[in-house]
Amino acid sequence: MAFPVTDTLRRDLYPELEAYASGWMQTDSIHEIYYEESGNPHGVPVIVLHGGPGGAVNPGMRRYFDPAKYRIVMFDQRGCGLSRPNASLENNTTWDLVADIERLREMLGIDKWVVFGGSWGSTLSMTYAIKHPDRCLALILRGIFLLTQKELHWFYQDGASMIFPDAWERFLAPIPEAERGDLMAAYNKRLLGDDIEERNRCAVAWSTWEGETVSVQGPSGKPDKFADPEFAVAFARIENWYFTNGGFFDSENWILENIETIRHIPCWISQGRFDVVTPISGAWALHRAWPEAKLDIVGDAGHASSEPGIIDSLIKGTDWAAAHS
């Protein structure tokens, strides 16, 4: 069975774009946050919140925005990318990141901005908006992740394993059979342990599992960075740290419990029908709680922001937000 063929021409990314400013922002702790700006300095401000946590930004993320219309602000969250120190878990929680976003907004002299985030970036976008609704012009979200135990169990214990059994074998490989009843805990022990060689091996396995499942292409569509130890160590340590701690939320359903706070904010949601990393059930639950938000289900896409249908949906979303801001 083939995916449905779209009868309309899909939008593509905007041209490559260089940053016109960059630097490091001091925080209230040991962390220094790398940030950059591109596009139109007088355009609609947008803050780009990357995934993971621990995923870092990259130049391709600038291309989801019309550079004539947007002032594009991106930063690497604590412990990853060019932010320093790398892979650090000290003072690294959701609430620290929310404070960093506000600190960056104030430092750049921005009153309100569009908030753009996918996967964990969608989690952080909604969390920031709930805490600072008066600073949000609009939200553009992809691959909704509510950070519930059900979602984590699906991806890291029992669920996605049935769709990608080949990749799952590679994810299981570093963990002794006796410890496979709680894989997040088994990986946590090794990612936070003192054995550097084992830490690196487990980080690459953890990261590769996600890389091999992000696209409807499966393992053949894995981005190269996921197997790179320099990327994987920060990515795996920070992801596992956040997920083991339930995202540092007061309750498992914190986002949906507080969604009333942001229902007045314009919102566009891009969701792949065949997303295995953050299944569509999360986007559907959000849609039910926030019917005013525009839910665009992409029928031939998984989780990756690089899939043609997701690119098309996100470009439509950013153009829509620019027109309404």
Does the active-site annotation cover 119?
yes
Question: Residue 79 in contact with residue 88, Cβ under 8 Å?
Answer: yes
Judged by DSSP in three states, 140 sits in: strand
Q: Per the residue annotation, which of 270, 275, 287, 313 is the catalytic one?
A: 275
Judged by DSSP in three states, 141 sits in: strand
Q: Per the residue annotation, which of 31, 50, 287, 303 is the catalytic one?
A: 303
Does the active-site annotation cover 166?
no
How far is residue 197's CA from residue 291's CA, in Å, rounded to a whole number?
Answer: 48
Query: Could you tell me the maximum CA-CA distance found in the chain, to the nearest angstrom?
Result: 58
- Amino acid (one-letter) located at 221: G
Does the active-site annotation cover 275?
yes
**Strand residue runs (E) in the chain:** 19-26, 32-39, 44-49, 70-75, 113-118, 136-142, 267-272, 294-298
**Sheet with 44-49: strands ordered across:** 19-26, 32-39, 70-75, 44-49, 113-118, 136-142, 267-272, 294-298
Q: Token digits for 17?
A: 């774009």
Q: Per the residue annotation, which of 38, 88, 119, 122 is the catalytic one?
A: 119
Nearest to 182 by CA among 152, 226, 145: 152
* Active site members: 119, 275, 303
